[in-house]
Amino acid sequence: MICKHAPTLAIAALSLVLLDIPAAHAASQTLEKIKEVGKVTFGYREASIPFAYLGADQKPTGLSLDLCSAVADKIRAVLNRSALQIDYVPVNASNRIPLLQNGTIDVECGSTTNTAERQKQVAFSVATSVASPRWLVPTSSQVMEPKGLDGQTVVITQGSLNFSVARKFLDDQKLNVTIVQAKDHAESLLMLGTGRAAAWFEDDILVAGLVANAADPKAFRMLATTYAPSYYGLMTRSEDPEFKTLVDTAIRETMASGAFDRLYARWFESPIPPRGQNLRLPMSEAMKARVKSPSDALVP
HEC letters along 224-286: CCCCCCEEEEEEEECCCHHHHHHHHHHHHHHHHHCHHHHHHHHHHCCEECCCCEECCCCCCHH
Confidence (pLDDT) at 192 = 98
Confidence (pLDDT) at 141 = 97
* DSSP letter (8 states) at residue 173: T
Same domain, 109 and 212: no
Confidence (pLDDT) at 26 = 58
Residues in the chain with pLDDT < 50?
1-24
Confidence (pLDDT) at 35 = 96
| Residue 87 covered by a domain | yes
Same domain, 13 and 124: yes
For residue 210, the enclosing domain spans 133-222
Count of domains observed in the chain: 2
Query: Which of 222, 242, 257 is the C-terminal boundary of a domain?
Result: 222
Residue 94 has a CB neighbour count (10 Å cut-off) of 14
Q: How many whole angstroms separate alpha carbon 129 and alpha carbon 284?
A: 9
Q: How far is CA 105 from the centre of its chain?
A: 15
Confidence (pLDDT) at 181 = 97
Query: Which of 203, 222, 241 is the C-terminal boundary of a domain?
Result: 222
**197-226: pLDDT as tens digits:** 999 999 998 898 889 888 899 999 999 898
Amino acid at 214: A
| Residue 1 covered by a domain | no
Confidence (pLDDT) at 213 = 82
Same domain, 46 and 160: no
Same domain, 44 and 184: no
Q: Which residues are CB-neighbours of 14 under 8 A, at least 6 positions away?
A: none
Q: How many whole angstroms separate alpha carbon 45 and alpha carbon 39?
A: 20
Confidence (pLDDT) at 275 = 84
CATH of the domain at 168: 3.40.190.10
Same domain, 152 and 281: no
Query: Which of 176, 206, 222 is the C-terminal boundary of a domain?
Result: 222
First to last CA, the chain: 52
